[in-house]
Structure 1
Amino acid sequence: MKGLFEGLPSLHPLLVHFPIVLLLMALISHIGALLLKKHRRPFTVLTFGLLLLGTLGALAAIHTATHISGDADEGAFAVFEIHQRFAWISFWLASSTTVLHFVGLRKDTGAWINYLILILLISLSVTLFITGHHGARLVYQYGVGPMGNGILIN
């Protein structure tokens, strides 16, 4: 897998923003489903689609940035570890929420599942924010990635 993306150092920044938007839009769509009881079904299906695509995109984004090499600062390695940890937490939250939402679509589970999904989506949004914050630190504070110092390579 390392050689597959080595010639595309900008692939991670290209892939990472799309799933972030999809997952944040899933939160907005789910809130819409909770507020519009009369027209809930289209919003719940939309939320599931956004979650599924966002989760798959997040997995692709994680796999296009697996380590730092080159002459990166020691601090960059620590920040990268935090960035990766929160990326994986975000992925597992998104995966769990997607599965739970699928179960909610298939079975009559009651209102409790919708509020649990809401809590998970809010938690996911927080972990996405933290992940993005540390990703931005890597780029703008340490010059990792698109700026060329300590290029992200698979």
Structure 2
Amino acid sequence: MSGIPLHPLLVHFPIALLLMGTVLQIVAIWKKKFFDKAALLLLSTGFISGVAAYLSGGGAVRFAAAHWGSAYKSLAEIHELYAFATMVLFGIAISLRMLLHYFRRKFLMPLILVFCILGSVTLGITGHYGGQMVYVQKHAGSAVTTLTVSR
């Protein structure tokens, strides 16, 4: 695996786990017992794998710069910003979820859902910009510079 960045291999785990965790957190409104625990498990493992994916991003940036040049740099910065926001939002949701386990406050559940949904939105945006870097930069060369304007 020498020279191949881990980031593209790792990103799929948090995407699947966090999005499915959000869906199960919504389902847990009506069917608490199983779905509540399953949502916490998926969100927690999704968050941990998300941190690993986030930390591996630097290697992917170095790999891309070596192979494709630096035309995508502003796109990579936006991608990183949304990835960080995603981790913060899901980190808050999981923290609130842990509080809910110990303090059983009804007002926490809507907050958890809001943070999960916002995190899912930023996760989608993060994936969009990641895909733009891979598919546009890799296959179309300088086309990325026109995409950075369309934030």
Taking structure 1 as the reference length, the TM-score comes to 0.81
* Match among 41, 55, 73 for residue 47 of structure 2: 55
Cα separation, partners in 2 of 1:19 and 1:8, compared to 1, 3 Å: farther
* Match among 101, 117, 121 for residue 126 of structure 1: 121
CA contact (8 A) 2:93 2:113 kept: no
The answer to whether structure 1 residue 108 and structure 2 residue 104 are counterparts is yes
**AA in 1 matched with 2:51:** L
For 1:8 and 1:22, the matched residues in 2 are separated by: 27
For structure 1, which runs of at least 5 residues remain unmatched after alignment? 1-5, 145-154
* Match among 77, 81, 87 for residue 81 of structure 1: 77
**AA in 2 matched with 1:78:** S
Cα separation, partners in 2 of 1:8 and 1:25, compared to 1, 3 Å: farther
CA contact (8 A) 1:44 1:105 kept: no
* Match among 18, 21, 24 for residue 19 of structure 2: 24
For 1:8 and 1:45, the matched residues in 2 are separated by: 39
For 1:117 and 1:49, the matched residues in 2 are separated by: 14
1:136 shift after superposition: 0.3
Question: How many pairs are equivalent?
Answer: 135
1:8 shift after superposition: 4.8
For structure 2, which runs of at least 5 residues remain unmatched after alignment? 140-151
1:41 shift after superposition: 2.6
Report the RMSD for the aligned CA atoms in angstroms.
Answer: 1.8
Equivalent position of 2:7 in the other structure: 12
For 2:76 and 2:66, the matched residues in 1 are separated by: 14
Which structure has more relative contact order (CA 8 Å, sep 6+)? It is: 1
**AA in 1 matched with 2:103:** K
For 1:59 and 1:53, the matched residues in 2 are separated by: 10
**AA in 1 matched with 2:56:** T
1:31 shift after superposition: 1.1
For 2:68 and 2:127, the matched residues in 1 are separated by: 19
CA contact (8 A) 1:32 1:43 kept: yes
